[in-house]
């Protein structure tokens, strides 16, 4: 197996790294404080112009056709600069991929180019509900056919980019009599639609620059051609097509972990205690060795999942393994980095405390670590039977 990046992948990595260093990292602290929101949106537009919003999307729809490995690489580099920007890029890519996989030709031509170009600064997934998070089959939002329209009622929570997305992929129950997990369908809904309401913005622990909103549907009437894919086939999409999102979030976590450890390692070469650089103490050296080893293992797991996706092979188990391991390794790395900084790591004078807050959600959203373990175990057990 050749683990070297292609010339195209190296170019994408270098471009993402340079942009993150020059544009994203300098603005990250302001975004964390709720400032400079206009710059956040400007950077999304610039990333779209650089081709980062459709990395695994066909050229005919405005995508880069670079593949899932390139997507993972780009997400890692962007997250080094700003996790709030990275999660928006990840979701945009997955919205485009789902529309590309399931949408009609008219839907693809209408929505994908707008996200890829930055005309729509974001797309959004409206899946999670207060009673249907890890168990999306338990959703209660409904869509009822009324003549040539569908009428949607219900609410969704924790919607990334909910306040400014140009289109939403919405899951709703279309056959309440069907067995659980069966009668669910997907719809493409524009926020200007009557009855579509953007609710409260969540006050989060981290990733403050990325707005997360409640979305409410109050007799929200959409045309029949807003249905995407097959009627009553939406749950299958939720548990299969979105597995690629786990590669994105795992890669985001990896970027945060690497950024934290790089800063902390440099700090240990400068900080002195007991008349010695703290990098000379074995306790510090072991933290460095353990964290970088785990992060490198996470990188390889992510590449493996992305490689299988690029080859059109099954990758659900590998994506869950990569997402679970990368997010948990990154959490450990950020907290060890904070420990290496000592008291300074707990202050806002250094980015480490922000990394520690930003990374925490990565083991929760896009499927918790507990859900990933369930998926992994199920896939392994099924292979034995």
Cα–Cα distances in angstroms (integers) from residue 357 to residues 16, 58, 126, 324, 338, in the given order: 23, 35, 24, 18, 11
**Gap between the Cα atoms of 216 and 155, Å rounded:** 4
| Helices 25-32 and 83-102, axial angle in degrees (round to 10) | 100
DSSP three-state, residue 52: coil
Inter-residue long-range contacts of 148-151, CB under 8 Å, 24+ positions, other chains counted: 148/223, 148/224, 149/221, 149/222, 149/223, 149/224, 150/174, 150/187, 150/221, 150/222, 150/223, 150/224, 150/226, 150/227, 151/219, 151/220, 151/221
Architecture field, domain 125-232: Beta Barrel (2.40)
- Domain 242-384: assigned CATH number: 1.20.140.10
Among 318, 328, 353, 366, the active-site one is 366
Q: Do the Cβ atoms of 305 and 321 come closer than 8 Å?
A: yes
Q: In whole numbers, what is the pLDDT of the chain averaged over residues?
A: 96
Q: What secondary structure letter does DSSP report for 137?
A: G
pLDDT at residue number 240: 77
Cα–Cα distances in angstroms (integers) from residue 203 to residues 90, 209, 213, 384, in the given order: 21, 11, 10, 45
Q: Do the Cβ atoms of 141 and 152 come closer than 8 Å?
A: yes
Q: Where are the domains of the chain?
A: 7-121, 125-232, 242-384
**Gap between the Cα atoms of 149 and 60, Å rounded:** 30
In tens digits, the chain (385 residues) has pLDDT values of: 688 999 999 999 999 999 999 999 999 999 999 998 999 999 999 999 999 999 999 999 999 999 999 999 999 999 999 999 999 999 999 999 999 999 999 999 999 999 999 999 999 999 999 998 888 889 999 999 999 999 999 999 999 999 999 999 999 999 999 998 899 999 999 999 999 999 999 999 999 999 999 999 999 999 999 999 999 998 888 777 789 999 999 999 999 999 999 999 999 999 999 999 999 999 999 999 999 999 999 999 999 999 999 999 999 999 999 999 999 999 999 999 999 999 999 999 999 999 999 999 999 999 999 999 999 999 999 999 8
- Give per-residue pLDDT as tens, 249-281: 999 999 999 999 999 999 999 999 999 999 999
Respond yes or no: is residue 49 known to be catalytic: no
Q: Count other C-beta atoms under 10 Å from residue 54's C-beta.
A: 27
**Gap between the Cα atoms of 235 and 224, Å rounded:** 19
pLDDT at residue number 230: 94
pTM: 0.96
Q: Does 242-384 match 125-232 at the fold level?
A: no
**Hey, what CATH class is 7-121 in?**
mainly alpha
Q: Do the Cβ atoms of 199 and 155 come closer than 8 Å?
A: yes
Inter-residue long-range contacts of 262-271, CB under 8 Å, 24+ positions, other chains counted: 263/337, 263/350, 263/351, 263/352, 264/336, 264/337, 264/338, 264/340, 264/341, 264/345, 264/352, 265/340, 267/340, 267/341, 268/340, 271/342
**Gap between the Cα atoms of 174 and 158, Å rounded:** 22
Beta strands 123-126 and 167-173: pairing type?
parallel
pLDDT at residue number 133: 84
**Gap between the Cα atoms of 227 and 166, Å rounded:** 17
- Give per-residue pLDDT as tens, 207-227: 999 999 999 999 999 999 999
Cα–Cα distances in angstroms (integers) from residue 108 to residues 101, 113, 153, 188, in the given order: 9, 8, 25, 11
DSSP three-state, residue 217: strand
């Amino acid at each position: 197996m050749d683990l070297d990046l292609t010339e195209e992948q190296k170019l994408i990595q270098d471009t993402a790294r340079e942009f993150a260093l020059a544009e994203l990292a300098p603005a990250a602290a302001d975004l964390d404080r709720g400032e400079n929101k206009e710059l956040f949106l400007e950077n999304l537009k610039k990333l779209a112009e650089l081709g980062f919003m459709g990395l695994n999307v066909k050229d005919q729809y405005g995508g880069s056709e670079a593949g899932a490995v390139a997507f993972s690489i780009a997400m890692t580099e962007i997250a080094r600069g700003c996790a709030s920007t990275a999660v928006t890029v990840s979701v945009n890519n997955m919205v485009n991929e789902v529309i590309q996989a399931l949408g009609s030709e008219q839907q693809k031509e209408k929505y994908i180019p707008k996200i890829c170009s930055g005309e729509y600064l974001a797309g959004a997934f409206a899946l999670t509900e207060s009673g249907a998070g890890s168990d999306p089959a338990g959703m209660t939002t409904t869509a009822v056919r009324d003549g040539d329209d569908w009428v949607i009622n219900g609410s969704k929570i924790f919607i990334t980019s909910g306040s400014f997305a140009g289109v939403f992929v919405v899951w709703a129950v279309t056959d309440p009599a069907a067995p659980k997990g069966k009668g669910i369908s997907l719809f493409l809904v524009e926020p200007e639609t009557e009855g579509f309401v953007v609710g409260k913005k969540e006050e989060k622990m981290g990733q403050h620059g990325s707005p997360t909103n409640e979305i409410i549907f109050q007799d929200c009437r959409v045309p029949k051609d807003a249905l995407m894919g097959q009627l009553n086939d939406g749950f299958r999409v939720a548990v299969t097509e979105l597995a690629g999102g786990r590669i994105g979030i795992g890669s985001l976590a990896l970027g945060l972990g690497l950024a934290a450890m790089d800063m902390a390692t440099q700090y240990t070469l400068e900080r002195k205690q007991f008349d010695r650089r703290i990098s000379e103490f074995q306790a510090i050296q072991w933290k460095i060795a353990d964290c970088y080893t785990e992060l490198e293992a996470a990188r390889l797991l992510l590449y493996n999942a992305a490689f299988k996706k690029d080859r059109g092979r099954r990758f659900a188990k590998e994506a869950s393994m990569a997402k679970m391991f990368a997010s948990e390794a990154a959490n450990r790395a950020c907290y060890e980095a904070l420990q290496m900084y000592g008291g300074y790591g707990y202050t806002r004078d250094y980015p480490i405390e922000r990394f520690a807050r930003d990374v925490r959600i990565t083991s929760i959203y896009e499927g918790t670590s507990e859900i990933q373990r369930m998926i992994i175990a199920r896939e392994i057990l099924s292979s034995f039977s």
